[in-house]
Amino acid sequence: MRWPRLILLLLLAGAAQPALAGPIPAYTATYEAQAFGNTVVAQSTLSREGDNIRMAMDAHVSGFLRILGRFEFTREAVFKSGDGNLNLVQTRSVQVTPRRERKVETRFDWTTSRAHGHINRKSFDLAVPPGTLDFLSSLYLTMEQLRNGNLGKTLTVTVLERDRLREYSLTLQGTHSIDTVLGRMDALQVVRKDDSSGVELAGWFVPALDYLPVRLDYEADGNVFTLELTKLEWHHPVIDLEGGRP
């Protein structure tokens, strides 16, 4: 069962709208999905530490699969933003299943355009082109471009996955009105696709919520898994799901 790939639904992005002032505010967003009698709970956070931006995602599975052991996934990225570009500083991920635990840590040297890291105890070193991202920083980049009105119909990003590079296309499919925990809201539907695998991820992003996704669908092997926003907290100020942002 592809739980880590289901969790990576959080890494989609949306389409252009009028520019918003200021940076994307810090937040904590919680999502849930139901699949085969199990629940996936994923929490996504964004914070700022000086000149650095930190994004993280923690997810776990509860239900009968817990009988077999732990199903957990953690991802974190630290990067800098400036002049419309993002530069990764470091990334980290941990995937835990009953059969194995995989830890990946990577640091980026943009003076030489190389990524240095290790997967468990195995080291790797490879050349990375300018603008290379990971999943979390690609999410931030697309959200930022949406807020600034700079994203066209399709965006292609180069992403480092463990020790390999892969290209993804993010394509706007249209605007829809959907039900959310905040009521019915207008959202932009975007499909993320990797042509080599044929797997599609569809997301619905709400301009009124700084382009955060409120629903994400993952389609694979004839099944569709839906991940929906269940809780959202803006830091300074805090959003009240019943009354909206102060």
Tens digit of pLDDT for each residue in 129-162?
Answer: 999 999 899 888 877 877 777 766 778 889 999 9
> Does a structural domain hold residue 169?
yes
- Tell me how far apart the alpha carbons of residues 85 and 104 are, in angstroms, rounded to a whole number: 24
Give the pLDDT score at 63. 62
| Residue 4 neighbours by CB under 8 Å, 6+ apart | 73, 95
Prediction pTM value: 0.80
> Does a structural domain hold residue 245?
no
Question: 142 vs 68, 92, 97, CA distance in Å?
Answer: 37, 21, 31
> Does a structural domain hold residue 44?
yes
Radius of gyration, CA atoms only, the chain: 18
Give the pLDDT score at 201. 80
> Does a structural domain hold residue 246?
no
Range of the domain at 108: 3-234
Indicate which CATH number applies to the domain containing 147.
2.50.20
Give the pLDDT score at 33. 87
> Does a structural domain hold residue 91?
yes
Give me the residues of the chain with pLDDT under 70, please: 1-21, 63-70, 83-84, 151-152, 195, 197-198, 219-223, 236-246
- Tell me how far apart the alpha carbons of residues 158 and 128 are, in angstroms, rounded to a whole number: 9
> Does a structural domain hold residue 221?
yes
Give the pLDDT score at 52. 94
- The count of structural domains within the chain is 1
> Does a structural domain hold residue 240?
no
Give the pLDDT score at 220. 59
